[in-house]
Amino acid sequence: RMPGVAARPKEGRSYYGWVLAWSLGLTELVSWGVLVYAFGVFLVPMQDELGWSTAELTGAYSLGLVVSGVLAVPVGRWLDRRGPRGLMSAGSALTVIVLIGWSRIDSLPLFYLLFALAGAAMAATLYEPAFAVVAAWFRDRRPAALLIVTGLGGLASVAFLPLSGLLVSSYGWRHALLVLALIVALTALPIHTILLRRRPEVVPERKERDPGAADRARSEALRSRSFRWLTACLVLVTLGRVAVIVHLVAYLAERGYTLTEAAFAAGAVGILQVLGRLLATGLRGVLPERVTYAGIFVAQGAAVLLLLLTQGAGSGATVAVAAFIVIFGFGFGLPELLRATLVGEFYGTLRYAGINGVLALFVTGARAAAPFAAGALRTFTGSYTVAFAGAGICVCASAGALLVAHRAHAREP
């Protein structure tokens, strides 16, 4: 090992990294639930009170996603150089401020400003910084630690969609936002402020390190063929899955299902993605990881395409829809786990957060573009057939890109 660097502690039950993994799992559940999933619950009551259109409201949300993507790269560099505590604590504090400001909003320009700040909070609190912490603290048990973080985070929609709905119906949307702010203040903020620590090694003083080594590692990774194909894989699968999940309720409603039935089907994806992550992690010792992920992506894309072969809401069609939900749901949560795992395996942890931040920039762009592209195709063609067919093809193609990325990495020095 490097002179001046202590041996990494064993990753047993008493290892402090497990405290961080479970704690970050809780904060990811809260942060994703409040900053990402709860938004949809507030659309209708805000429209009713303020008279703003759906496009005006969702435009602010899209702005937040764009800001979070743009900030992903500088956030990654900050994490590599200064660690997560200050950044994630500030992000949680900013989340509280945004929610309080949102509860008092009556101006559309100020609403957009708030969601630009919400985008900064997303960049500082969602998966990217949490993955950087896990990568720093774990080596042998990293997949298990990532499963804890993403497993709990994957329950955000299951927990916060009904919770937000209950709060809005009981107290009104403005007071509901204050309750959500209180939840963040009592959970994510103290956890990030008190529990986060530096990585377990005794890191040499900055002046004793080669300041160019880490930057060279990042630069070489970003220029590599494996990075380009990994980026293509993640962009393709994100385009496909986000386009489908955002428009799934509307698609099923067009086929004749009630809004409640369609919403239940979409909500089931949130539960199934956690099971899919468990399955993928459990298969690590049985099948090569690339085979597991590629196989699930192909099945997921094929399920979207097969869904288009049925029509209406009859019993036969419902069986097909149920099968689609199961297959699509099992694969829905895998891209985050894949990205968190492969960045460390391919390029190490020296500049993990910076490399992951560049990937996050592309992935966030795809996540923001997918709903708009699918909606535009629906408007232009008069149905979701072309949009969903394109989404299924994208997800299938991501499997091929993943296999090429692994092959390219195997040939790199």
CATH topology of domain 216-411: Growth Hormone; Chain: A; (1.20.1250)
Asked if 200 contacts 8 with a C-beta cutoff of 8 angstroms, the reply is yes
With b for 16 or more beta-carbon neighbours within 10 A and e for fewer, the 112-147 pattern comes to ebbbbbbbbbbbbbbbbbbbbbbbbbbeebbbebbb
Asked if 148 contacts 23 with a C-beta cutoff of 8 angstroms, the reply is no
Q: How far apart are CA 9 and CA 17, in angstroms?
A: 10
pTM: 0.78
Tell me the backbone φ, ψ of residue 3, rounded to 5 degrees.
-60, 135
Asked if 67 contacts 126 with a C-beta cutoff of 8 angstroms, the reply is no
**Kindly report the CA angle at 303 between 299 and 304, in degrees rounded to 5?**
125
Of the candidates 305, 302, 303, the one whose C-alpha atom is nearest the C-alpha of residue 389 is 305
Token pair 């700040």 in the structure block, residue: 117
pLDDT at 4 over 70: no
Q: How far apart are CA 348 and CA 288, in angstroms?
A: 19
Asked if 164 contacts 39 with a C-beta cutoff of 8 angstroms, the reply is no
Contacts of 55 (CB under 8 A, 6+ apart): none
Q: What average pLDDT does range 170-183 have in this prediction? A: 96
Indicate the average pLDDT of the chain.
Answer: 86
Q: 391 is written with which tokens?
A: 């989404």
- DSSP letter at 210 equals -
pLDDT at 210 over 60: no
Asked if 243 contacts 45 with a C-beta cutoff of 8 angstroms, the reply is no
pLDDT at 314: 80
How sure is the predictor about 110, in pLDDT bands with cuts at 50, 70 and 90? very high
Q: How far apart are CA 364 and CA 358, in angstroms?
A: 10
pLDDT at 7: 53
Pick the more confident residue, 357 or 231. 231
Asked if 344 contacts 135 with a C-beta cutoff of 8 angstroms, the reply is yes
**What's the chain's Rg over C-alpha atoms?**
21
pLDDT at 263: 75
pLDDT at 409 over 80: yes
In the Cβ-directed half-sphere of 127, how many Cα atoms lie within 13 Å?
Answer: 29
pLDDT at 197 over 70: yes
- DSSP letter at 309 equals T
pLDDT at 115: 94
pLDDT at 214 over 80: no
Is domain 16-205 annotated with CATH 1.20.1250.20?
A: yes
Per-residue pLDDT of 257-270, as tens digits, reads 887 788 778 778 87
Asked if 267 contacts 157 with a C-beta cutoff of 8 angstroms, the reply is yes
Pseudo-torsion of CA 362, 20, 199, 226, nearest 10°?
Answer: -30
Q: How far apart are CA 328 and CA 331, in angstroms?
A: 5
Q: 201 is written with which tokens?
A: 């090694």
How crowded is residue 9: how many other Cβ atoms within 10 Å of its Cβ?
13
36 alpha carbon, distance to own chain's centre: 9
Q: What average pLDDT does range 195-216 have in this prediction? A: 53
How sure is the predictor about 8, in pLDDT bands with cuts at 50, 70 and 90? low
pLDDT at 329 over 70: yes
Residues of the chain with CATH 1.20.1250.20: 16-205, 216-411
Look at residue 380 and give its three-state secondary structure: helix
201 by Cβ neighbours in 10 Å (0-12 / 13-18 / 19+) ranks as middle
Of the candidates 115, 73, 146, 122, the one whose C-alpha atom is nearest the C-alpha of residue 360 is 73
